[in-house]
Amino acid sequence: MAAKIGSAAAAVEEQLLAHGERYSYFQAIRLLRLFGKARGMKTDSLRIRPKLSLGFPENDIDSIEPLPNGGYRITANFFGLYGVASPLPTYYTEDLFEEEREGRHATRDFLDVIHHATYPLLFDAWRKHRLQDRVVEDGDAGVLDQLYSFIGLHSSDLRADLPASDGLLRYAGLFNLHPRSALGLNTLLADAFNPAKVRVDCCTLQYVPIPDDQRLHLGLQANQLGENTYLGSQVDDYSGSITITLSDLPEDSFHQLLPGTPGHKRLEFLTRFYLIDPLEITVILELRHDEARAARTLFALGGDVQATPESDTTNWTRLGLDTWLTPEHVREPTRVQFTL
């Protein structure tokens, strides 16, 4: 794989040096900086100067050539103190023509010292609001912290112990929507656990126990019929619970979401991080019917089995989670239910 990547970069570099006029100025700078970074070179090894000409160009770049020190020189057709795009009077460029015919270049070299500072500033101004380039290509940790601040995780210390924190920026738009909705949670989980089919049901029934001091006790409390009198020790509640169903799960995805696995921790984190209210969350996993297997006995000869929940040796062995006697004869979806 490394050889393929290296050969691809070499091919792009060869194409860039041979046909630099086909590239835009900013794209060429990005590529050359990446090539120099791979070789451990500094960014100031890239030299840029305008073309000494009064002809009207068709492209941003006239040519790109390598330098003896391993850097590159770009001859641009814009933004210079001499040439057709110069803000100075034309006779400055004409004087440089005269010096070039006489074999002298001191004045041009002096102006190129200024160009060496101004052209990179133009690129930095263009790149300022292209945050993805600064994060991916330059590894700018400050910009990354700024992006994470949109979801309340501006510090790398806050993200250190979070499961799969690198993928949270993808859902920054969902995390910034208020109030939170079942559709938003559905969209979040459907993308995070693709190819599962996700359904979020709100206001599902749950039974909430009545505290002992609030229950009906004859002769002890002045309860009023139809107001605050309830028979029993629990009441029906539809406002504090939701049910998340992930159906049509392949075998690997099904086992990765069972309790005790990294996938289950990621599911719990994404759900709790998205929700604001402390809801009771019930999760239903539905395995693809044709991928369910019969339960098997886990044993080892000569010692105990040391296996983690996510390892294949424990699949189809956990009672109440992935054990069925004859799943091939079950018409209903093979499912498991648990609470986050």
Q: 293 and 190 in one domain?
A: yes
> Cβ neighbours of residue 102 under 8 Å, at least 6 residues apart?
none
Q: 182 and 124 in one domain?
A: no
Nearest to 13 by CA among 47, 64, 69, 60: 64
Domain enclosing residue 271, as ranges: 175-203+239-339
Query: How many whole angstroms separate alpha carbon 275 and alpha carbon 283?
Result: 15
Q: 16 and 104 in one domain?
A: yes
Query: How many whole angstroms separate alpha carbon 218 and alpha carbon 199?
Result: 45
Q: 193 and 72 in one domain?
A: no
Number of domains in the chain: 2
Q: 280 and 193 in one domain?
A: yes
Strands 334-339 and 234-237: unpaired
Strand-pair partners of 63: 75
Query: How many whole angstroms separate alpha carbon 122 and alpha carbon 118?
Result: 6
The half-sphere exposure of 215 on its side-chain side, counting CA atoms within 13 A, is 11
Query: How many whole angstroms separate alpha carbon 328 and alpha carbon 318?
Result: 18
Nearest to 336 by CA among 261, 324, 200, 311: 324
Q: 325 and 252 in one domain?
A: yes
Does residue 309 have a cis bond before it (omega within 30 degrees)? no
Query: How many whole angstroms separate alpha carbon 70 and alpha carbon 74?
Result: 13
DSSP element (H, E) containing 208 = strand 206-209
Query: How many whole angstroms separate alpha carbon 18 and alpha carbon 6?
Result: 18
Beta-carbon neighbour count of residue 75 at 10 Å? 20
Domain for residue 134, yes or no?
Answer: no
**pLDDT for res 64:** 92
Domain for residue 326, yes or no?
Answer: yes
Choose one of 62, 97, 128: the last residue of a domain.
128
Q: 266 and 119 in one domain?
A: no
Joined together, the tokens standing for residue 198 give 């996700």
Strand-pair partners of 61: 76
Q: 113 and 42 in one domain?
A: yes
Query: Is residue 255 within 8 Å of residue 217, measured between CB atoms?
Result: no
Q: What is the DSSP string of 36-73?
A: HHHTT--GGGEEEEE-S--SPPSSSEEEEEE-TTS-EE
Average confidence (pLDDT) per 10 residues, the chain, 340 residues:
60 89 92 85 84 89 88 91 90 92 92 93 92 86 87 81 78 88 92 90 87 77 71 83 90 86 90 90 86 58 42 60 63 77
Query: How many whole angstroms separate alpha carbon 82 and alpha carbon 84?
Result: 7
Q: 185 and 66 in one domain?
A: no
Nearest to 66 by CA among 75, 57, 58: 75
Joined together, the tokens standing for residue 217 give 């006790």
The half-sphere exposure of 106 on its side-chain side, counting CA atoms within 13 A, is 2
Strands 206-209 and 234-237: antiparallel
